[in-house]
Amino acid sequence: MDGVVVDSEPLSIAVIAEVIAEHGGQVDPALLAGLTGVNLMEVLRVAAAHSGRSLDTQALHRSYQQRYLPRLRACAAATPGLARLIAALVGAGVAIGLASSSSLAEIDVVVHALRLRPVLAAVASADEVARPKPAPDVYRLAVRRLGTGPERVVAIEDSATGMAAAHASASAPRLPGDRIWGIVPCWWTPWRNSTLASWSGSCRMALTEGGSLGRRACHAVSERRRDAGPRRRPDTAPSRGP
């Protein structure tokens, strides 16, 4: 979610640094930036270990949530191109799921702020699984809630941690061109600098014609969706929020 749906990483890093300082420690923002995609509790554990103080991770987590969630609610903004991408996917009949290392509380804030609830067929949080990313658990839960299998799914990721989780969730991961399991990282050339904005504008073409590696991945979803018939909203999709 962070970095793909909403650019909340800078806010998260700032709040973690504030919380560490509030408890008498210090942390290098570069260290935190290198942990993009990692579960919050693990980030706080690493930050505490490098803070120069003996800090309680649970206390840090409570302080973080008290500061972070209200700020996120106030400033959450969609990643450039997200709205166009979602519109193209919905128009093509492709079900959309969200598999995130974020907590259920954070997901609810973002989904509500960006009004994503009506377009999400499935939501899965690290709160609901035994192992966070890079373990595949949260992806497997999301795929199950979509009512399908990994052979019909394309994952969009922005971190090595998320990529590892997506790959691991497929029983036999292959390139998107093989039309089995598509992994489209937002930072993959030619979208490294523009993320979703660059390819969402041509997503309708991508979903029907294929082309480059990322477009073939979207094409694979379109082909699989047509083969599977009309999309059915799974009964297992979460119903939290409006």
SS3 string, the chain, reads CECCCECCHHHHHHHHHHHHHHCCCCCCHHHHHCCCCCCHHHHHHHHHHCCCCCCCHHHHHHHHHHHHHHHHHHHCCECCCHHHHHHHHHHCCCCEEEEECCCHHHHHHHHHHCCCHHHEEEEEEHHHCCCCCCCCHHHHHHHHHHCCCHHHCEEEECCHHHHHHHHHHCCCCCCHHHCCCEEEECCCCCCCCCCHHHHHCCHHHHHHHCCCHHHHHHHHHHHHHHHHCCCCCCCCCCCCCC
The superfamily CATH assigns to domain 9-75 is Putative phosphatase; domain 2 (1.10.150.240)
| pLDDT tens, per residue, the chain with 242 residues | 887 898 888 999 999 999 999 999 999 989 998 887 788 899 999 999 999 999 999 999 999 999 999 999 999 999 888 888 888 888 888 889 999 988 999 999 999 999 999 999 999 999 999 998 889 999 999 999 998 888 778 888 877 888 888 888 874 344 343 333 345 544 333 333 344 444 444 443 333 333 233 333 343 333 444 444 443 433 433 333 33
**Predicted local confidence at residue 236, as pLDDT:** 37
Domain 82-228 fold is Rossmann fold (3.40.50)
Boundaries of every domain in the chain: 9-75, 82-228
**Predicted local confidence at residue 234, as pLDDT:** 37
**Predicted local confidence at residue 111, as pLDDT:** 95
**Predicted local confidence at residue 221, as pLDDT:** 37
